[in-house]
Amino acid sequence: VNADDTRTERIARNEVSLRRVNEAIESGRQTREGLVPFVCECGVLGCNDVIELTLEEYEQVRSRGVRFLVAPGHQSEADEVVETRGRYDIVEKAEARAAAIAERTDPRGPGAPER
Amino acid sequence: MSGPVGIVPYIAFDMATDAGNVGEARRTVASFAAENGASTEIVERVRQALTEALNNAVIHAFPGRAGNVHVAADVEDGDLEVVVSDDGTGFLPGETPGFGLGLLVIERSCDVFLVRNRVPHGVEVWMRFWLE
């Protein structure tokens, strides 16, 4: 394991935690309308960006377990930007270990508890 | 305010959004958790999560003005539930220093948590810790 591997995995685990934060925000919504503030899932500890999405837009991000929501330009070296939406980007884990962590911990995945 | 509601132990109090009040609020809830069966490890997690929830409220809920944060805790069905709520501005888009890291710590400290938007405005952080 070299330093790059450790950094990639650390960022991937932070992204997974931030995805759970956003799932907690979505679950706590009392209304389905309007823009909802979510946190940037880029996984860099210094990032404090709040991004607004509709819940429909958020659900599109969550359609695949390897996809994450980030502020524009916040992709990591393990990411590929798959959609740019102005207010936010959707990135996909292109690096194998980061993708495996994302898939394994996907709260919408096959092993996840019922929502 | 504290005491039993039926057989459910609970505490609830308001705290002015002053950073100097965070420690006392944290001690009050940590003591309640310990008195109601939380292990040392769980009490420490409660302290961490509560610190971040309170700091987020103190720093972000009422920009440029004073406000109150409501803190409540109870034990139900073997779980400790802690709720921190305010009627402030809610999350605002853009750079919010310390906010993301605070939620990250809460996520890692709790067994379950929700972030609720309050109507007409404000935020409620609901945290659950499994005691058994």
Confidence of residue B92 (pLDDT cuts 50, 70, 90): confident
Distance from CA of A108 to the nearest CA of B (A): 16
Q: Identify the helix (H) or strand (E) that includes residue B58.
A: none
- Is residue A10 less than 8 Å (CB to CB) from chain B? no
| pLDDT of res. B127 | 97
Peptide bond between residue A110 and the one before it cis (omega within 30 degrees of 0)? no
* CA A72/CA A69 separation, integer angstroms: 9
Distance from CA of B60 to the nearest CA of A (A): 12
Assessment of whether the complete model's pTM goes beyond 0.90: no
β-strand pairing of B112-117 with A79-84: unpaired
* B46 has pLDDT over 80: yes
Closest CA in chain B for residue A20: B107
Tell me the pLDDT tens digit for each residue of A19-72: 999 999 999 887 788 899 999 999 887 888 999 999 999 999 999 999 999 999
Above pLDDT 70, what percent of chain B? 95
Report the pLDDT averaged over residues B24-44. 97
Distance from CA of B13 to the nearest CA of A (A): 22
Which distant-in-sequence residues (6+ apart) come within 8 Å of A113 by Cβ?
A107
Joined tokens for residue B1: 């305010």
Place of tokens 């308001």: B14
Subunit contact B90:A45, Cβ cutoff 8 A: no
- Report H helices in chain A: 3-27, 55-61, 96-104
Subunit contact A24:B94, Cβ cutoff 8 A: no
Report the pLDDT averaged over residues B110-116. 93
* A109 has pLDDT over 90: no
Confidence of residue B5 (pLDDT cuts 50, 70, 90): low
Above pLDDT 90, what percent of chain B? 65
Q: Return mean pLDDT, chain B.
A: 90
Q: Provide the ipTM.
A: 0.81
